Structure 1
Amino acid sequence: MSKTAGAIESDANSNVEDNHQLHYLMWFRLDLRVHDNTALAAICERANEDNAQLSAVFFLTPEQWQTHDMSLTQLDHIARTLPILAEKLNRLNIILTVQICPSFTDCIATLSALCEENNISCVMANHEYEGNEIARDEQLTKQLLETDIEFIRWHDQCILPPQSITTNDDSMYQVFTPFYKKWRHTLEVSDIQIHTAPGITNNEKVHLTSSEISANTTQDIEALCNKTVHDYQQYLQTHKSYQHIDTDKQISQARTAYPAGEAEACHRLEHFIADDINNYDVSRDVPSLHATSQLSAYLTIGAISPRLCYLQATKALGELHRNDGDNFDSSDSSDNNDINRWISELAWRDFYRHVLDYKPELIRHQAYKHETDKKINWSYDEDAFAAWCEGKTGVPLVDAAMRCLNTTGFMHNRLRMVTAMFLTKDLLIDWRLGERYFMQQLIDGDFASNNGGWQWSASTGTDSAPYFRIMNPFSQAKTHDFDGIFIKTWLPELKPIPSSILHSEDKMRKALNKNDTFANIDYPVPIVEHKLARQLAIAEFKKE
């Protein structure tokens, strides 16, 4: 990697005395990996070229994360990843310091002080695209410039960075399909590089001079992270959104399902490419199967590179090319549906980040389609919302999905659409409430994708579902959980009821109300009649 690619150079270092070794700083955020970390590779290369020392830092910001509704499982995933990252950085002769800074404002003051106390002349990090993060970085840039310290940021979260995929008049695409076609074409004619961070050749593993609430050994980092998770959990247990959740069980389930570290993430990618990607287009919609990549939690905290995911998928396409010879066309989405479908999911991830960059007001709870959102008489029925959150709506697929989320911190993508559309269309509850609840629970919750998904379901977002296309949660269950395996896993009280009844709202109402065989089952009748709710929702969206 050349040190001029996207970097702003200064002559700040020219004032450093010859006998004083330069000192640089890598600031990790949600990019907790060594392999293909753009900023890390760049600053390692530059440190070696300039014979500079290199340190690394990560700030735990629990108060800021509370404001952002970060889930307990996601914080725990970050906490479990940091000691592993520290070990990997040690192999590059770099020491990671983890420090508690309650808010982003504290980060600005703390990082400025770190630079002054440790004679740091250059800081590098990877871009973040949310509003508070952008404001923090802009303020820090101004503050560091006053002391001639470089602050260089690199695009790393997306496969292709925001503003790189635009229409012919340089505007943002409003619809995903043409965005995806140009995104795919751009990648096919581009040289996508994997960045390798070299070890620091002349580094004395310098320890940053920092505060008492910091750690720079693996053992101390683990202890500090564990305390942060414990304190965060104590805070959440007093929070209304967590009253019905066993947080100990949720953390335990998430730790089992998502072991920490980039090695685990890379192993999952390899396993998915080898065993499951060729059945992805069909099996991805069956929640009882574990046929998806299971990489979203790792992508969210940056434990794996999205470029690596894309390149591995295209490598699998290339192998099909060799097998199929002249009959292969990688650009034809009708062929190789499974691999192309997964690549399109990576493109959706980029798309929603590009949309956020284009419309930063989304971070302030604004709808993409403001006029549509404004005319809807959204409901704020607390009892109905609580029933949805707790998985007590009387709609089996919705309730099973919500109880799975509350127990594991994860929900299958198909079920995210079903539950979101049930909340916003059947119950006409403001999508912002559901968006926030998902962020509070999901181990893979990130603002851009979560907001995009919720506004898609609520028909207020870019390229969203047409308002009249409303998922029937009973027919969705019949299609995607035909034998009721998923439903009965999470709603064991419904095991005696045949799936043919579970998949019919009329039969469910009759069975629970009148049928002696199931009269004693402790499960509510549906809180809303889907057919009527659908008509009311359509009327609401059609009104002038």
Structure 2
Amino acid sequence: MSNTASATTTTIDDNDGNNNSNDDNTSLTSAHYLMWFRRDLRLHDNTALAALCERARDNDASVSAVFFLTPEQWQTHDMSLVQLDHIARTLPILANDLHKQLNITLHVQVCDSFSDCVDSLDALCAANNISCVMANHEYEGNEIERDAQLSQLLAKSDIEFIRWHDQCILPPKSITTNDDSMYQVFTPFYKKWRHTLEVSNIQLHKALAINSDNATLKISKQTVNTANTIEALSQKVVKDYQQSLANNTQLSHIDSEAQLTNARAAYPAGEVAACHRLDQFVADDIHNYDVSRDVPSLHATSQLSAYLTIGAISPRLCYLQAAKAQEQEQLHGNNGDNEDINRWISELAWRDFYRHVLADKPELIQHQAYKHETDIKINWSYNEDDFDAWCTGRTGVPLVDAAMRCLNATGFMHNRLRMVTAMFLTKDLLIDWRLGERYFMQQLIDGDFASNNGGWQWSASTGTDSAPYFRIMNPFSQAKTHDPDGEFIKEWLPELKDMPASILHSEDKIRKAINSADMFGRLDYPAPMVEHKAARQLAITEFKK
């Protein structure tokens, strides 16, 4: 237990985040429970929250809630600035919703590390006679170690620490082969996943308001508990985080202020905003998803991944809304097995799949390849100039560069483009997939380890159900197929705005155009850094070893 935390425990009233009164209004006779929010920043269909509220109502107990901002720990995990900002913008909204709808006060504290969170929680429980703590499972390594450490500490005081599966639609280890092992290929996993859902009665968990008076929690001076003070503290953490990233010379090409501005405009914070976006997607875009999802200029994907990552919306709600849309198709006499809707549901299944894989193979969190034997035989490149050209969007390959500049400016990249850029880095440049995986995490507003790692290992042919090593995307033909008019490319590469799509989509033609001042003048754009056909053959030779 942290001596500092236990020495600074004080009571804070509902109106003043800095009140140091020693009055203890918490009854020693009534039960007091604690909800620990992590990546589940919502009220609706929050499994742990609903269970804790139900238990509190049954036992006439009071409930408090806590969230820990851990910027130093998150930086070691390469959390992006825009994702931290998204969390920071969501917390005061969550605090308001909890107070108004459930009669629960949210307390937010900054801790340097996960181990400090454990000390703070242990001290918090001891100072407030907490008898039960509930939270939702997290599946990454440090998070699992943190929870195990807390479990041991709380058990010494006979305090329950109960965790619920909430991140997935179906929890890890619930979809297995006949011999109870994890599927190594997505398609059979998906078939069993769909069948399980179709024969199950998936219920959304509703948290009911607490009957007991709003509990006064004895907390440290560094903790805040009103929407205004939570907002102020959270934004200070964002500013400090932004400054620390500014000192990273490898990220000097990122305009963090512009990135924050773009991300805030694209992703309004809060559960209501997330649910509204789901409703809009189901009403307007899900019926054309199978085709439009691969055209980045259309912006026709759900744009829900950032909300799912921090838990501002439930994945089960997403699935049920899609299933309801399927039912509506049948009611209107259409094909009840709509391929567009099925395709989006399969994307939700991929999200579950990669979390199940991580739970089955926790060594993936330690930079291990799923196919270790493939990974170790590749002579990966660590050429800093090549990697920098990829990061900054200066490879000379228009679709790759447009995608990377979009990521750097907005904190988001279209899924098709994630595959194209990842395969270019790992196959055309033969650069270690771990470098690209880390860079994406550092920039993506929707970055989460399981999906990001799964996607990168898929592209690098080192992961479960990954692309065969000989199937290497040609970024020029990908551009011709998915950005036929060059609309997306020209949006992010204005220096090429006058170049016809027929040239943008041909490696030979763009190389000639860039090297010839007579065609388009002197362009501030490089020629392609590699010849794709030769790079592809080199990659195939390397993987065949």
TM-score (norm 1): 0.94
Whole-angstrom distance in 1 between the partners of 2:377 and 2:167: 35
Give the aligned partner of residue 354 of structure 2: 352
Give the aligned partner of residue 516 of structure 2: 514
2:150 to 137, 140, 156: 140
Cα drift, residue 213 of structure 1? 1.9
Cα drift, residue 128 of structure 1? 0.2
**Is the counterpart of residue 290 in structure 1 residue 292 in structure 2?**
no
In structure 1, runs of 5+ residues without a counterpart are: 1-16, 331-335
**Is the counterpart of residue 210 in structure 1 residue 219 in structure 2?**
yes
Give the aligned partner of residue 37 of structure 2: 28
Give the aligned partner of residue 128 of structure 1: 138
Cα drift, residue 208 of structure 1? 2.1
Cα drift, residue 87 of structure 1? 0.5
Deviations 1:293-351 (A, max 9, x none): 000000000000000000000000001112227xx454xxxxx1100000000000000
Structure 1 counterpart of 2:367, one-letter code: H
- Indicate the SS of the match to 1:516: helix
Give the aligned partner of residue 40 of structure 1: 49
Whole-angstrom distance in 2 between the partners of 1:44 and 1:188: 29
Q: Are the counterparts in 1 of residues 28 and 129 from structure 2 also a CA contact under 8 Å?
A: no
Give the aligned partner of residue 526 of structure 1: 528
Whole-angstrom distance in 1 between the partners of 2:58 and 2:104: 16
Whole-angstrom distance in 2 between the partners of 1:528 and 1:418: 15
Give the aligned partner of residue 114 of structure 1: 124
- Indicate the SS of the match to 2:67: strand
Percent sequence identity over matched residues? 76
**Is the counterpart of residue 76 in structure 1 residue 78 in structure 2?**
no
Give the aligned partner of residue 477 of structure 1: 479
Whole-angstrom distance in 2 between the partners of 1:521 and 1:383: 21
Whole-angstrom distance in 2 between the partners of 1:102 and 1:514: 55
Q: Are the counterparts in 1 of residues 108 and 230 from structure 2 also a CA contact under 8 Å?
A: yes
Whole-angstrom distance in 1 between the partners of 2:177 and 2:130: 41
Q: Are the counterparts in 2 of residues 513 and 519 from structure 1 also a CA contact under 8 Å?
A: no
Give the aligned partner of residue 189 of structure 1: 199
Deviations 1:419-447 (A, max 9, x none): 00000000000000000000000000000
Give the aligned partner of residue 277 of structure 2: 268
Whole-angstrom distance in 2 between the partners of 1:27 and 1:355: 25
- Indicate the SS of the match to 1:324: coil
Structure 1 counterpart of 2:152, one-letter code: K
2:105 to 90, 95, 105: 95
Cα drift, residue 242 of structure 1? 1.9
Runs of 4+ in 1 over 2 A off after TM superposition: none
Q: How do residues 400-415 of structure 1 correspond to structure 2 at under 5 angstroms?
A: 400-415=402-417
- Indicate the SS of the match to 1:191: coil
Give the aligned partner of residue 233 of structure 1: 242
Give the aligned partner of residue 21 of structure 2: none
Q: Are the counterparts in 2 of residues 93 and 200 from structure 1 also a CA contact under 8 Å?
A: yes
Whole-angstrom distance in 2 between the partners of 1:67 and 1:89: 30
Cα drift, residue 519 of structure 1? 3.6
- Indicate the SS of the match to 2:333: helix
Give the aligned partner of residue 362 of structure 1: 364
Whole-angstrom distance in 2 between the partners of 1:191 and 1:124: 24
Structure 2 counterpart of 1:90, one-letter code: H
Q: Are the counterparts in 2 of residues 241 and 437 from structure 1 also a CA contact under 8 Å?
A: no
Cα drift, residue 158 of structure 1? 0.0
Q: Are the counterparts in 2 of residues 214 and 224 from structure 1 also a CA contact under 8 Å?
A: no
Whole-angstrom distance in 2 between the partners of 1:242 and 1:410: 16
Structure 2 counterpart of 1:437, one-letter code: Y
Deviations 1:477-509 (A, max 9, x none): 000000000000000000011110000000001
- Indicate the SS of the match to 1:506: helix
- Indicate the SS of the match to 2:436: helix
What is the total number of aligned residue pairs between the two structures? 519
1:158 to 156, 168, 173: 168
Whole-angstrom distance in 2 between the partners of 1:467 and 1:233: 38
Whole-angstrom distance in 2 between the partners of 1:311 and 1:355: 23
Cα drift, residue 18 of structure 1? 10
Cα drift, residue 466 of structure 1? 0.3
